[in-house]
Chain A
Amino acid sequence: MDVRLTSEQRQLRDAAAKLADDLGPGSVQELADVGRIERLAKTLASTGWRALRSDGASGVEIAIVAEEFGRGLVDVPFLGPVLADDLRGQLADDTQRWTIAVDGRAVDAMGCQRALMITGDWILASGIGTARAGADPTRAEAELVGTPEPVGELSEAQAHQWRALALVATCADLVGAARGALALAVDYAKVRAQYGKTIGSYQAVAHLLAEALALIEGSVSVLRHAAWAVDELTPAEAVRAAVIAKLYCARAARTVCETSVQVHGGIGNTWECLAHVYLRRVLTSTELFPVRLEEIDLGLS
């Protein structure tokens, strides 16, 4: 029993964090910076991380990158392509850009031409229309075009494992976004003064931020296990671990983002503050492969 990240995993985390810090949007204005987005897309393409899974990476490694990208609000597609990559597996390579579709919509679709989806035992492929902004300004979605065609078949175990990976990837995005939202609020609380003192020195504010950090620490612990479970437990067990992680992390992340809005006060309720961008990302990652408390059964280990 040793659940530390390996040194290779820590290196991957540092590299993903650096990419997100260097090229992610540091402000709401930078969301519209086309030059930055092009540099980000090009740099990400050069890492090969969208094909991590077919390169043999584990669920833990997918989660590491997804978490750092959530923290840095990376606004070029990663989750959609990396999950499509896991489904495509050994399919013949082509030059098209792939994402996934859920409930008849392609998600994380900016710059993508094709989407994969699961229906029963079948993997279906479809063309997609032009991507457009939804609730989350960092990830666009698109309508499907034409009739989806079968391109592969999945066993029940494979379908479960893919669902576990999808839950884990969105869960990691949630945890990362929560970390980013908390860092934003803590930095603000250290500089914003009221009544002659920084607001972070008041217990009413400090305690909200302390609670947020505890929620994030709990989230990291439950996420790590679910990410490990994708490849190390049976597919049914992996789904179970991922459902629990998603429930915990989604509730925690929303609370942390709401705390960030609150700590920013009036400014936190404006478009110019990044707090709502984190919140929007958390809401959309929660909806992507949603889970409900009713799914909990009590075969607890």
Chain B
Amino acid sequence: MPTSIQESRSRAVETVLDELISHSRNLLKCVQCGACTGSCPSGRRTQLRVRRLMEKVLMGFEDVLNSDDLWLCTTCYVCFDRCPRDAQPTSVIKRLRNIAVRKGFMKAAHQKVARLFCDTGHLVPINDEVRAVRKSLGLSELPPTVHSYPESLKELETILEATGFRRMTG
């Protein structure tokens, strides 16, 4: 356990900030202008402040990883496009989410959709009602996707096993 804020910060900087920088050095270009927050449709109705998130990351505060804010972004990429420094805030948020999931910070609802993906190969799998609609439209009852090919689902399981996805999101 860290014994001081200083230590907590430096530990965080080594882990989170280093990983973020290794993926996108652009993060360091952020000058805290706030164009991201001003552009954010989610932040207009929630506590999400992308500028503040960027600031916290740059200062090495690791509490961003288990904050709800991280999951309020719809990844609309408006801040990404408008950032005058090309600091790529949406990519930073997605990278932070990857780290959060690896550290076990994941919402139950997201674990549920991840399980659906692992079990069926679709985030939104077929149901009986839609099977009937498909038939009425002259389409095959099951689409020609992984739903129709059990061996394809096996392939997917192989990939998810190799990347550790099911374990990570379980």
Task: Please say whether chains A and B are actual partners in one complex.
Answer: no
